[in-house]
Amino acid sequence: MTPARPAPDFTALFSARARRMNASAIREILKVTQQPDIISFAGGLPAPELFPLEEVRRAADAALTRYGPAALQYSTTEGHPPLREWIGARAGIPAANVQIMTGSQQALDLLGKILISEGDTVLVEAPTYLGALQSFQPYGPRYVQLPTDDGGIDVDALAELLQTTPAKLLYAVPNFQNPTGRTLDAQRRRRLVELTAQYGVLVIEDDPYGQLRFSGEPAPSLYELGLEYAGDVEANHILYCSSFSKTLVPGLRDAWVQAAAPIVSKLVQAKQGADLHTPTLNQMIVTELLDEVLPRQIETVRRAYGQRAAAMLGHIGEQFPGGVQSTRPEGGMFLWVTLPEGIDSTRMLERALSRNVAYVPGSPFFALGGGENTLRLSYSSATPEQIERGIAALGETIREALD
């Protein structure tokens, strides 16, 4: 080789879009917390010891036998027909209104890609799912934060906002939200659906956790309410995303969107350019698991996460000083802690790590900033013993910060 020439200035060649992308704050934190002696409540990982490993092994085998080489060939962009049919039947809509996606993350990316022009107003919960912000960000949205409380989005504030602020999209995680674990109140759901319909705002309903309710009463999805309101699948303004990542396993990357035909057909065009199709075998594996394994697995996960959430809340009650508040999730994987004003959870993280416990500071979940005194805890993949020791260590850390 000749001596090295100067490198091209790659970053100067990046698109305007690329300049809006950032390294995920959480990702950087997670790297630190992967050291073996750290008890991490930081990640958002489903419990791997609950994965139906042998069932997936048999399903892969069965799919390869059933479909032969077709299980490994290119397949349609829309998705594996029996999988779309099952999803459609469960939702009471035609399979044609179901689009398979390579994980919910792709659903968010491609919905953002086909809908968000630079400067379009996108309404998001404060706080909201960080991955959605990462998907939408390159497309140049203007975020407006919606205030939330323990019942989810404050719909009175939404009504007031819509009177003066034309918006294209509202993004929400109504069930056991990431990061807060909160659930949108049933009455508010109806009002949100009506308001957004009346103001011509499309709603992206992100529902990865809906099946993982371990207490309380299920509320209808925004999609179901939108269908009821509109009277027809083609008039429903709710775009529903869900996934098998939290109910079965995340590593196969199988998810879907339910939406009206014009949205689905534009998603098909977008997905052709993005990855042609979701891996064929993976869709067939999931399809093999739908009837027997999925319901059983949902029960297993619900029960386990319910116990872990209860354990964490119990220890929080005992170990955290007064003035610290926590949400009480009825499902999902996360709870949300609000520290007394003035404590900065980002600065506190270093002290927590020195006590071998990790969490994610809350502020990255706010599209426009805020929440410096909040943090997210995940209970999904921690053992009872880790929960006990970790919450005790976190309690000490908070007490120290209060001094």
Of 280, 297, 338, 378, the one binding its own copies (CB under 8 A) is: 280
For its own copies, which residue of 25, 32, 38, 60 counts as binding (CB under 8 A)? 60
Total binding residues toward its own copies, as defined by CB under 8 A: 97
120 touches its own copies by CB under 8 A: yes
In angstroms, rounded to a whole number, what is the distance separating the alpha carbons of residues 345 and 100?
A: 38
Binding mask 37-56 for its own copies (x = CB under 8 A): --------xx-xx-x-x--x
Contacts of 152 (CB under 8 A, 6+ apart): 125, 172, 174, 177, 182, 183, 184, 185, 188
Distance CA 206, CA 132 (A): 9
Q: Residue 366: helix, strand or coil by DSSP? A: coil
341 binds its own copies, rule: CB under 8 A: no
Q: Which is nearer to its own copies, 1 or 403 (CB)?
A: 1
Residue 57, number of CB atoms within 10 A of its CB: 11
Per CB under 8 A, the list member of 29, 109, 207, 224 interacting with its own copies is 109
| Distance in angstroms (rounded) separating the CA atoms of residues 167 and 237 | 14
Give the one residue of 36, 37, 117, 341 binding its own copies; rule: CB under 8 A: 117
To which H or E segment does residue 99 belong? strand 98-101
Interface residues for its own copies in 351-390 (CB under 8 A)? none
The verdict on 36 binding its own copies (CB under 8 A) reads: no
Query: Nearest distance from residue 185's CB to its own copies, in Å?
Result: 23
Nearer to its own copies, 27 or 399 (CB): 27
Stretch 159-218 residues interacting with its own copies (CB under 8 A): 168, 197, 200, 202
Smallest distance from the beta carbon of 154 to its own copies, in angstroms? 24
d(CA 104, CA 100): 9
* Half-sphere exposure at residue 213, Cβ-oriented, CA atoms within 13 angstroms: 13
Residues 283 and 254: beta-carbon distance below 8 Å: yes
Contact residue for its own copies among 29, 91, 100, 115 (CB under 8 A):
115
